[in-house]
Structure 1
């Protein structure tokens, strides 16, 4: 049976771990994508952000951007390039289901698409 839930997960992130547990408690065994290992492609990020209704800037981890010296004036195109090069720049966790995609922050938002 195909997986109906995908979580883009960082196992070191407490919010990501809690969202994964919430998905399982709701009766789903999701496809778990450890994006820090697998990385991102630009088309994948564009689709994910579009489906979630977010811009690259809204989906960016602010602390990681600061650490990498990425300023406020960087264009979305340059930001996407940086996210492909540095997967840690993407906020987490993103969850995708048949109902859509969202950034599960706060974690309770995951219930909107399960």
Structure 2
């Protein structure tokens, strides 16, 4: 299975998502999107494939969201894309692409819907169990 993750190694959710992908035996194509941002067209296509509004993919925390006035509801999608192209940190992560779809994997467990069954137990960095020893999603996931 060919899987792509738009990844930020400084983000715990992104690291957990990457580890869950690898726990299925897949080595994904890892794109550190802050160093290699997607083109405007590609980002537009990813968001369309997710079936969510552009605003749902904009990250507020730790970004210039407020300073740029992106909380203004009258901004158009094109204006939001302009901001994300100028400031890739505004693109929320991780975005995962698989043959089963495209998803913003927040929470990280959302990636499990895009993948084959895990190979074994999986715990997040903080110790929370996501997949039990039998390969089943934990009740809290």
- TM-score calculated relative to the size of structure 2: 0.75
> Which of 1 and 2 has higher RCO (CA within 8 Å, sep 6+)?
1
Q: Secondary structure at the match of 2:79?
A: helix
RMSD: 1.3
Shift of 1:67: 4.7
| SS at 1:33 equivalent | strand
2:11 to 6, 10, 13: 13
Equivalent residue number for residue 100 of structure 2 = 99
| Aligned equivalent of 1:77 | 78
Call closer, same or farther: CA 1:67–1:14 in 2, change over 3 Å.
farther
TM alignment of 1:1-114, pairs within 5 A: 4-63=2-61, 64=63, 65-73=65-73, 74-114=75-115
Contact 1:40 1:83 in 2 (8 A): no
Aligned length: 112
Structure 1: distance between partners of 2:101 and 2:72: 29
Which consecutive unaligned segments of at least 5 residues does structure 2 have? 116-141
Contact kept? 1:7, 1:94, Cα under 8 Å: yes
> Would you tell me which structure has more helix in proportion to its own residues?
1
